[in-house]
Amino acid sequence: MSTICAISTAPGVGGIAVIRVSGTDAFALCDKIFHAHREGHTIQSQKAYTLQYGTIENERGETVDNVVIAVFRAPHSFTGEDTVEISCHGSIYIQQQILQLLIQNGCELAKPGEFTQRAFLNGKMDLSQAEAVADLIASTSAGQHRLAMSQMRGGFSRELKILREKLLHITSLMELELDFADHEELEFADRHELKEIAAQIEQTMSKLIHSFKAGNAIKNGIPVAIVGETNAGKSTLLNALLNEEKAIVSDIHGTTRDIIEDTVSIQGQIFRFIDTAGIRDTHDTIEVMGIERSFHALDQAQIILWVIDSTNALEQITNLSPRILPRCQEKELIVVFNKSDLPSVVHSDIAGLPENTHTISISAKQHEGLNQLQTMLIEATHLPQISQADIIITNARHYEALTSALHAIQRVEEGLSSGLSGDFISQDLRECIYHLSDIMGEVTTDEVLGNIFRNFCIGK
């Protein structure tokens, strides 16, 4: 395989940058531009997992930089190939010069994710673990980090392997039976036992599929729609929660006309706050379109913050209850009485709201009551406490494959119950195994692989 190189540290200027070179010729290629500090030393003769000091020189013999070389020998490296890591100074100019010299001497520039792709192809990790590497790099919250770490360590892969072994066991029994189809009295596979194993498999799969909701919420953030009448202070609240002047705030009714959203981490959990156009009767065509979007955002969200101007609370509740409450039945609704800094007659047990509605009084403008609101938000997520040992699905590709596998195993169970002939059952079993293997990347097409790794950053 060709030898590839890339800058593995973040783009821009840092104190130090790392350039990674991986492939059969990594040592020989790097030796062409490296001059060891100690006479007679080379990278090719350098022991694995040691560091060596020296200089990188260009074709005119000028020093580009003083560097430290780390050597990893195949198969004991991240990619499974011979790998060199050049630590140079952080200047973008230096990094580009070294990269250019490597390419001039025969290296190829790595494509995004190519190092991880090679690790996968060389059997250092399965596909779901490789995908976790990308998640780990992208993680910005404690929750995301914990999930990626657990997936990278292979907990999910182990679970899949166990499932697959059980399936293979049933399949081989079923197929053995088919081989002796002439002897009808033969039944190697005890149907009762098979049903039990299939039920166990179905249960484990359902659990994994179920975990996707939590996994997805942790990875992509829990959607929270901020809705209410115009001028209630929705955009002011969005800005306060994000701690940033993201949305325009004004005392003109109908200021926000489109969806404005952003994510923020609260106590290690990512929330995606969606500010919406204030709901009112209007003849303004654009505003009407904006209000339609408000309801769409409400329908998509998991938590609803209904912002009410406390100085006008009763009227707002009466006006909007028929339009908001029916849409919140499956969701967590928090009624936020805003503008608590102004005199008002509102009480949190105000009439007109269903019993057990969560209410809170805040001043978005003065940032009063925000901590309590954040705590309420965390409670409203109902996310289970997740440890690194838990197996949670976070990836839509895995979710789809598992769902297909689940349908196949359900067909197997039905087939077993209704006494369906063995060859049909074993066909469904094979399909189930196929989908599990797909998650681990054992039957995945090059096109799908290409897509997965394209989303990585270069240098990883």
Ligand X SMILES: Nc1nc2c(ncn2[C@@H]2O[C@H](COP(=O)(O)OP(=O)(O)OP(=O)(O)O)[C@@H](O)[C@H]2O)c(=O)[nH]1
256 binds ligand X (CB under 6 A): yes
The rounded distance, in Å, linking the Cα atoms of 303 and 330 is 10
- Min CB(360)–ligand X separation in Å: 12
* DSSP characters over 246-275: -S---SSTT---S-EEEEEEETTEEEEEEE
Peptide bond into 322 cis (omega under 30): no
Q: Could you give the C-alpha distances from 179 to 182, 190, 317, in angstroms and in order?
A: 8, 16, 71
Residue 150 or 338 having the CB closest to ligand X: 338
One residue of 46, 117, 256, 310 binding Mg ion per CB under 5 A: 256
Which H/E stretch holds residue 88?
A: strand 83-89
- Min CB(69)–ligand X separation in Å: 57
**Chain mean position to CA 198:** 30
231 binds ligand X (CB under 6 A): yes
Report the partner that residue 365 touches, choosing among Mg ion, ligand X, none (CB closer than 5 to 8 A by kind): ligand X
276 binds Mg ion (CB under 5 A): no
Report the partner that residue 395 touches, choosing among Mg ion, ligand X, none (CB closer than 5 to 8 A by kind): none
Residue 24 or 250 having the CB closest to ligand X: 250
Question: What single-letter DSSP state applies at residue 328?
Answer: G
The span of 77-85, 152-160, 224-232, 430-438 binding ligand X (CB under 6 A) equals 224-232
Q: Report how many residues bind Mg ion under the rule CB under 5 A.
A: 4
- Min CB(281)–ligand X separation in Å: 13
**Is 356 in a helix, a strand, or coil?**
coil
Binding map of ligand X across residues 286-325, x = CB under 6 A, - = no contact: ----------------------------------------
Residue 130 or 237 having the CB closest to Mg ion: 237
262 Cβ contact list (under 8 Å, min separation 6):
238, 242, 244, 246, 272, 273
Contacting ligand X within 137-176 (CB under 6 A): none
* DSSP characters over 117-167: HHHHHTTSS-HHHHHHHHHHHH--SHHHHHHHHHHHTTHHHHHHHHHHHHH
Contacting Mg ion within 206-235 (CB under 5 A): 234-235
- Min CB(229)–Mg ion separation in Å: 11
Contacting ligand X within 330-359 (CB under 6 A): 338-339, 341-342
Closest by alpha carbon to 272, among 325, 319, 329, 219?
Answer: 219
User: Which chain residues interact with ligand X by CB under 6 A?
Assistant: 230-236, 249-251, 253-256, 277-278, 338-339, 341-342, 363-365
